[in-house]
Amino acid sequence: MPIADYLSPQRVCFLSADHKAGVLAELASVLASSGAVRDRDGLMRAILEREKIMSTAIGCGVAIPHAQSDAVRRLVMAVGVHRAGIADYETPDREPVRILVMIASGHRQQRAYIRLLGEVARLLKQEAVRQQLINATTPAQLYEIMVKSEPLGA
Amino acid sequence: MPDPLRSLFADPRPLALLLLAGLALLGGTIARRWLQRLRIPQGAAYILIGIFLGQSGLGWISHDLTQRFAAFNLYALGIIGFIIGGGVQREFLRKYGRQLLVIVLSEGLGAFILVAGAAGLLAYHFTQDWANALGVGLVLGAIAAATAPALTLDVLWEQKTRGILTTTLVALVAFDDGLALLLYGMAASVAAHLTRMHAETALWGALARAVMELAGGVVLGATAGWLLSLTVERSRDTQRATTFAIGAVALAVGLTLLLGLDLILGAMTLGLTLVNLAPRRSRPTFVAFEQAAQPIFVLFFLLVGAELNLARVPSWLWAVAIAYLLGRSAGKLLGANLGARWAGAAPPVRRYLGLCLFGQAGVAIGLSILAGARFSEGFGNWVVLVITATTLVAQVVAPAAIRLGVKRAGEVGRNITREDLVTSLRVRDVMDAAPPTLSPSTPLEEVLRTFARHEYVSFPVVDARGELLGMVSFEEVRATLAGGDYGRLLVAHDLLTPAPIVLEPEMPLAEAIAHMREGYLECLPVVDPEEGKVVGLLHAHALNRALEAEVLRRQQYGEGNR
């Protein structure tokens, strides 16, 4: 399952907000620009509801906020990097979140959605990949790293 | 309205006959439903309709009109004799053997002896006419041996019985009517010659002629049966075979009448010979005849009811009817008990078989019609009245007695199938009332453990108030197995799919199963419609196992003995 199928160069960015809600809103807007999202606010509500159930930060400075919602037409993702790190994202290892991948899906692509979440999680488990993302200077570089890197154990 | 109908039925042309037959079958079947609602059994219902329309009621069906059915009645009795003879197969006899024969003879002869004695003595006491008294005694005694196979099987089916009593009873009722026909043949021949005999002239001559009549009937039936079996064996066409059989029965009935031989015995031997010489090939023919028997019985019941003229019944005859009922019941009870003892039958058979033999229906009615016609100068009408009245009683009493017998024997509810069980249950009865549930925040790891611990293929996800959010099914969980290391990323909420169908606890189980079949669904949540809370889970495999176990349990222990 190539990440390139769900990511485009327009949906990678550097984030500017300095708190969790802010960066999530930024990423939701990026996703909404793609045409895969019917209703940006609906998506945002689903994302926040999911964060309320359990934080999507998985440690090592990575968070993968995700949600399924009727506001979404098809499976889609966006990547954002925040060099300084977000402090108020509840993380298992207290490390501030620097890399965020937002994945949104409609209700009909459940299995692809789950597989994509696994794929991204495995990709970002790699220290080298994380380092490259944080060191990248342009969105184009971010995109390259995301689609060219081989997920661990694939 | 009545008058045009009355004049139509009085029409001397054949149309009256056809109209009556048509209306009787159609109207009778419709009216029966209505009477059934009043819990009046089928046979009794038709007799009551006959009484209502006949001489004791509206008078639409006159004596003249019923007399015009004479040829039909004789032929119909031939068909019934043929069917009953066809039930006596060597295979069957070998299977049930001596034991059954002993029981049939003792309960049949028990009823015969007690009824013949009681009815005969009473009739003599009131009329001082020994020939007619002996005649009516013998004929009533013979008819008393008959039972009611259809009625009996209906009750057994309704009660879902299974066991040694049921098995014995099913085999027994098939033979009872045969014995009754045999006894009737003998009784009627003897009675005919007795009543015709003048005072002191040779009793032995009369008996010899009676034996001739019976033996002649048997020889005629056997010959016709042998010839028929040759054609049936050779013909591959079952329609042709059935046509031949219809002709053979008519011919045999006609010949017995022409030669003064016993009609019923002739027809019975015909059926018996055919079924044993061509057991397989004759099967479709007997099936066709059995289908024809139902409308014949309907007409029998109606006609006998219509013939009943309550105003002309001598009052002492009611005493005979009561004696018949008592004698018959006592004879069956005693005879069945003694017979079962002699044959070494199982205790439930010994104790309760007699109770199950009170049924009286079409064969008894048919024989009474035959007697009514043959002894119209003498005691014929007495037989018709006593049998009609006692059949009415037996139709009501017998089902209750059979129910009591099989219940006491503990055989009720054992012949239960999965379908029976399904129709009697609701979702609440079989659901898992405490299913494992997940909360939206249950981590993937815990979800996987839940799947590993239970056999269910999906689990309900509920919120803090217990309301259903959706299901996590194995399909979604399997997708995570390919994906690898999710860590804390996935929770039950991410795996949620809407429940395709939500069941309610009071929903009939059959409906729930239909939903499962249609949607190929294995696991469905049960939600209380008022509170909206998940109260259970219905799982196809667990359901099947529970149903099978319950069917087995009920087959072994019956209903109610948990």
SS3 per-residue string spanning chain A: CCHHHCCCHHHEEECCCCCHHHHHHHHHHHHHCCCCECCHHHHHHHHHHHHHHCCCEEECCEECCEEECCCECCCEEEEEEEEEEECCCCCCCCCCEEEEEEEEECCCCHHHHHHHHHHHHHHHCCHHHHHHHHHCCCHHHHHHHHHHCCCCCC
Cα dihedral sign, B157-B158-B162-B167:
negative
- Residue whose tokens read 């954002």: A80
SS3 content of chain B, % helix, strand, coil (to 5): 70, 5, 25
Whether the model clears a pTM of 0.90, i.e. scores above it, the answer is no
β-bridge mates for residue B472, sequence order: B459
∠ CA B180-B185-B189, nearest 5°, is 145
- Residue whose tokens read 């049924």: B359
Whether the CB-CB separation of B174 and B388 falls below 8 Å is answered with no
Verify whether the Cβ–Cβ distance A59 to B479 is below 8 Å: no
* Cα–Cα distance, B343 to B338 (Å, whole number): 8
Calculate how close chain B gets to A69, using CA atoms only, in Å: 11
B486: nearest CB among A92, A107, A118: A118
ipTM over 0.95: no
Q: Residue B433 in 3-state DSSP?
A: coil
Count of beta carbons in the 10 Å neighbourhood of residue A5: 13
Verify whether the Cβ–Cβ distance B490 to A114 is below 8 Å: yes
Verify whether the Cβ–Cβ distance B443 to A64 is below 8 Å: no
pLDDT tens, chain B, 562 aa long: 456 667 777 777 778 888 888 887 887 778 777 777 777 777 788 888 888 888 888 888 888 888 888 888 888 888 888 888 887 777 767 766 678 888 989 999 999 999 999 999 998 898 888 888 888 999 999 999 998 887 888 788 878 888 888 888 887 887 888 888 889 888 888 888 777 655 445 667 767 777 888 889 899 999 999 999 888 888 777 788 888 889 999 999 999 989 888 888 899 899 989 988 888 888 888 888 888 877 888 888 888 888 887 777 788 888 999 999 999 999 999 999 999 888 888 888 889 999 989 988 888 888 888 888 888 878 888 888 899 889 888 888 988 999 999 888 888 877 777 887 888 888 988 888 888 999 999 998 899 899 888 888 899 999 988 899 999 988 888 888 776 678 788 899 988 888 888 999 999 998 999 988 888 888 899 999 888 899 999 988 888 888 888 887 777 765 544 3
- Structure tokens, B254: 């006609």
* Cα–Cα distance, B171 to B163 (Å, whole number): 13
Strand locations in B387-504 (E): 458-462, 468-473
- Residue whose tokens read 């009817």: B321
Whether the CB-CB separation of B538 and B431 falls below 8 Å is answered with yes
- Provide, as residue numbers in chain A, all residues whose Cβ is less than 8 Å from the Cβ of B475: 110-111
Interface of B with A (CB under 8 A): 440-441, 443, 475-476, 479-480, 482-491, 493-498
* Cα–Cα distance, B217 to B215 (Å, whole number): 5
B483: nearest CB among A53, A54, A117: A117
- Provide, as residue numbers in chain B, all residues whose Cβ is less than 8 Å from the Cβ of A59: 487
Q: CATH topology for A3-148?
A: Mannitol-specific EII; Chain A (3.40.930)
State the angle between helix axes of B362-374 and B70-86 in degrees (0 to 180), rounded to the nearest 10: 130
Verify whether the Cβ–Cβ distance A54 to B491 is below 8 Å: yes
